[in-house]
Amino acid sequence: MMSRPVSRIDSSMRFEKSFFWLPKRIQQLARKKDKIFRENAFHPSLETHKLGGKLKNDWAYSVNREYRVHFYFVNDHTVVYVDIGMHEIYRK
């Protein structure tokens, strides 16, 4: 897929709260993945993918096998992080 740097990331209050309650090791890994995401939102290690259903305008990328970051593009280089967590985040 295309390479797309992200120059601005805003995060929702839900994302901030969810991040706070994550295990510390997941927080550290999420910070590493965020750095990769900022350089290229479609880096293969992130497994960035479009969501479906009522979230069809949103995207997610993988922190690891269990944890995902749910986000949407405001424009080509601006993103809003909606939530972070396991698959249940899509049902909130």
Quote the distance between the C-alpha of residue 91 and its chain's center: 15
Residue 2 lies in a domain: no
Residue 1 lies in a domain: no
Residue 52 lies in a domain: yes
17-60 confidence digits (pLDDT tens): 999 999 999 999 999 999 999 999 999 999 999 999 999 999 99
Residue 30 lies in a domain: yes
Is the whole-model pTM more than 0.75?
yes
Read off the CATH number of the domain in which 57 is found.
3.30.2310.20
Residue 65 lies in a domain: yes
Instruction: Residue 1: name the closest of 55, 56, 40, 52 by CA.
Output: 40
One-letter amino acid of 73: F
Residue 41 CA to residue 21 CA, distance in Å, equals 24
Taking residues 61-80, report their average pLDDT: 96
The domain of 78 spans 8-91
Residue 3 lies in a domain: no
Number of compact structural domains in the chain: 1
One-letter amino acid of 58: D
